[in-house]
Amino acid sequence: MEDRRPLGGAADRQRTCGVCGAEFRPDERTEVEAFTDGEVRYVAVHPGHTTHSPGREQAAARKLRKMPGHAA
Ligand SMILES: [Zn+2]
């Protein structure tokens, strides 16, 4: 069994959740999210916390549909 995290170090470097900002406890499980900000970056988050907000994506999609010349 491998106990290495594939993108290990993100949580250790960061120490806080990229979504809610709360500190990770030493034994806390974390997930790593990838996002692009000109380049691909990784951010450690609590399990279930996500930087990909469905609400935000839906709002963005609605805005796009309302744009003139962008008929759905
Ligand atoms: Zn969090």
Ligand 1 centre to CA of 68 (Å) is 38
Q: In whole angstroms, how far apart are CA 65 and each of 3, 6, 54, 56, 68?
A: 46, 38, 16, 14, 8
Ligand 1 centre to CA of 70 (Å) is 36
**Is the confidence at residue 2, as pLDDT, over 70?**
no
E strand or H helix at 60: helix 54-66
Contact 57, 44 (CB under 8 A): no
At 72, is the pLDDT very low, low, confident or very high (cuts 50, 70, 90)? low
Q: Using one digit for the tens of pLDDT, what is the confidence trace for 5-17?
A: 555 566 667 889 9
Residue located via tokens 């000109």:
38
Model confidence, pTM: 0.53
Q: In angstroms, rounded to a whole number, what is the distance separating the alpha carbons of residues 50 and 31? A: 9
Q: Using one digit for the tens of pLDDT, what is the confidence trace for 22-68?
A: 999 988 899 888 878 788 888 899 998 887 766 666 777 787 788 77
Report domain extents, the chain. 10-66
Ion ligand 1: residues, CB < 5 A: 17, 19-20, 46, 49
